Structure 1
Amino acid sequence: MKKLFFTLIILCLCLFSQSCNERKTNLVLLGTVHQPVENFNSDSLYNILKKIRPNLILFEVDSSFFTQDFKFKKTWESNENIATVRYMNDFNADVRPYDFTGRNEYRRKIGSRPTDTKTIKLIESLYQKHLLNSEEKSIYQDFLQITDTLNSFGYLGISNFNNEVTDSIARIRQYYQYKKLLEIVDNNKIFSSTFYNKEDGDSISYALGFRRAGEFWDLRNKTMAKHILHFTNEYKGKRIVVLNGYFHRHYLDSLLGPEQKKNNFIIRDLDEY
């Protein structure tokens, strides 16, 4: 009898906890791959959205992609765009932008783009010509291996790039890209003496542009997290899906996780649906 009583108590507590979670704003940080690949395409994403049934989809662009009543100004061949438009046509749901406003224009203005990619190409050139010292060579090889590993998850299906293991590898990859590669840049004068001419006529060294790229990565993710928090309060008690390239997922989770209690929302995993 006692065993039955305790079983009923535990069952009631579980149902109460589940009910409380449903009353809170539910947030799913859904990592994606932008273009169709093996095992993941717009149909895959649409079916996931159907399972979660969000009231709001947060889209990884800024407001310039939308009309004043939050309709897409255009459609394009990305998994997220095709799946979101299809979902909105089939279900009653809103979509909102949450990215850093004018991110690409801002990158070009501060000179972090295209000096970020040019810097990595120059590191690759030095590596191929055996002009990096042994420590720098090891850093770059590790960066390539980590990047290849992280990219490979994108071909294995959505559960493979929406989990803690992939998030931890993305975190390490970010550290290597913006901290360890910067060590190579700072140790070799060629990066501070090689310049790119910006659109405004000013020039910027690869070294400074690459440093600014790392700073912008932090700024962009913090801005996205701030915008997401805004929507957790605007859509209280609703289900929100945040579509994000899966390299961002770990960063957004680290910023939003500590805010759950104060803002009365809960981050839910994909496998809970």
Structure 2
Amino acid sequence: MKQKNRLTYIVIILVISCLTGYRYTNSKQKEIYILGTVHHPTINVNSDSILRIIRQIKPSLILIESDSSNFDNQMNIKRYYEENEYGAVKQYLIEHPSTLIRPYDLNNRDEQRIQNGLYAEAGFAFELLNQMHSAGKFSQNDSISWNRFNTYWREYELLLGGTLVDLNAVKSEVIIDSVSYYQYIKTNNIIESYPIFTESTLIGANNDTITIKDYFKNWSDFEYHKRNNAMVQNIIKHIHSTKATRILVLTGIKHKSPLKKALSEKPNALRFKMIESY
């Protein structure tokens, strides 16, 4: 039992180290930690594993990947979804009820998706891309890009089965950044090169007809740019609007690197010095 407890302690220390401490520290000694997670349980990551890290950090403010519509006027969570972060936060609030919880995703995210005719995913576009590739209809360069994307995606899926230490390691960011680049940028370039994506249409979430080409462009911009930019602005807002001195950002692993990079580029807005330790 002592050996097991010792191993658990070591793992927790490793994860906190890998969190990039993303310690942005100013004269008031505010600290910001960014923890990349997966939303649904895997063999190595669940609410309990995230809760252990929260307990070690002891944040006075937790920022959760949710939009404001799931919070009431008193900043209480309306609905706890069946996701790892919500389960961990719910238990931590029972233990530490004075902890502040704030949403930082794009305000009214789901409503904005619908207004823009978007769903959460773009699976139909990827299915058509796979069919095109299998039929040998891609150019050589596009075929290379598509194969690279699939290679990175397989590495990403393997990574998702790892521990919080694995997910938050520096080398993991390279894989995740590559997946995002090929998923949102390179794939969009491929789609724009073939008439079939203009000729093929679908019914969007707002019941309007839209070409797959236009849908994918709007979807990738929404997920890759609009949401990440809004997250950064909301995080900064919450940093300055509370007196919390230790802040934990819980984020889906694909958002972690863009958030970290954007925050590190805003020293004047944050008035924090970023200290990275692994």
Instruction: Indicate the TM-score class for this superposition, using the shorter chain for normalisation.
Output: 0.7 to 0.9
Residue 44 (structure 2) aligns with: 39
Residue 9 (structure 1) aligns with: none
Look up the SS of the partner of 1:204 in the other structure: strand
Look up the SS of the partner of 2:40 in the other structure: coil
Aligned partner of 2:263: which letter?
L
CA offsets, 1:163-213, max 9 Å, x none?
322122222222111221122211110001111123544211100111112
User: Could you tell me how far 1:134 is from its partner in structure 2?
Assistant: 2.5
Does the 8 A contact of 2:61 with 2:244 survive in 1?
A: no
CA offsets, 1:40-97, max 9 Å, x none?
1111000000010000110101111122222221222211001001001101311011
Does the 8 A contact of 1:26 with 1:268 survive in 2?
A: no
Show structure 2 runs of 5+ residues with no match. 1-22
Residue 26 (structure 1) aligns with: 31
Residue 146 (structure 1) aligns with: 152
Residue 246 (structure 2) aligns with: 239
Q: Does 1:258 align with 2:252?
A: no
- Give the whole-Å Cα distance in 2 for the aligned partners of 1:38 and 1:221: 28
Q: Does 1:228 align with 2:235?
A: yes
Q: Which moved more, 1:200-209 or 1:36-45?
A: 200-209
Residue 182 (structure 2) aligns with: 176
Larger Rg: 1
Q: Does 1:110 align with 2:116?
A: yes
User: Could you tell me how far 1:135 is from its partner in structure 2?
Assistant: 2.1
Alignment of 1:37-116 (within 5 A): 37-91=42-96, 92-113=98-119, 116=122
Residue 218 (structure 1) aligns with: 225
Show structure 1 runs of 5+ residues with no match. 1-17
Does the 8 A contact of 1:22 with 1:237 survive in 2?
A: no
User: Could you tell me how far 1:149 is from its partner in structure 2?
Assistant: 1.0
User: Could you tell me how far 1:154 is from its partner in structure 2?
Assistant: 2.0
Summarize the Cα distance change of 1:109–1:121 in structure 2 as closer, same or farther, 3 Å threshold.
farther
CA offsets, 1:222-250, max 9 Å, x none?
10000000111123461111110011111
Look up the SS of the partner of 1:37 in the other structure: coil
Summarize the Cα distance change of 1:268–1:83 in structure 2 as closer, same or farther, 3 Å threshold.
farther
Scaled by the length of structure 2, the TM-score of the pair is: 0.84
- Give the whole-Å Cα distance in 1 for the aligned partners of 2:120 and 2:229: 22
Residue 13 (structure 1) aligns with: none
Scaled by the length of structure 1, the TM-score of the pair is: 0.85
Aligned partner of 2:196: which letter?
I
- Give the whole-Å Cα distance in 2 for the aligned partners of 1:222 and 1:169: 21
- The equivalent position to 1:137 in structure 2, one of 130, 138, 143, is 143
Summarize the Cα distance change of 1:237–1:42 in structure 2 as closer, same or farther, 3 Å threshold.
closer
Residue 125 (structure 1) aligns with: 131
CA RMSD of aligned residues (A): 2.2
Aligned partner of 1:221: which letter?
N
Aligned partner of 2:227: which letter?
R
Q: Which moved more, 1:260-269 or 1:103-112?
A: 260-269
User: Could you tell me how far 1:23 is from its partner in structure 2?
Assistant: 3.2
Does the 8 A contact of 1:38 with 1:155 survive in 2?
A: yes
Look up the SS of the partner of 2:74 in the other structure: coil
Residue 10 (structure 1) aligns with: none
Does the 8 A contact of 1:24 with 1:264 survive in 2?
A: no
Identity of aligned residues (%): 26
Summarize the Cα distance change of 1:260–1:27 in structure 2 as closer, same or farther, 3 Å threshold.
farther
Does the 8 A contact of 2:197 with 2:213 survive in 1?
A: yes
Aligned partner of 2:169: which letter?
N
- Would you identify which runs of 4 or more consecutive aligned residues in structure 1 move more than 6 Å? none
Does the 8 A contact of 1:59 with 1:97 survive in 2?
A: yes
User: Could you tell me how far 1:28 is from its partner in structure 2?
Assistant: 0.8
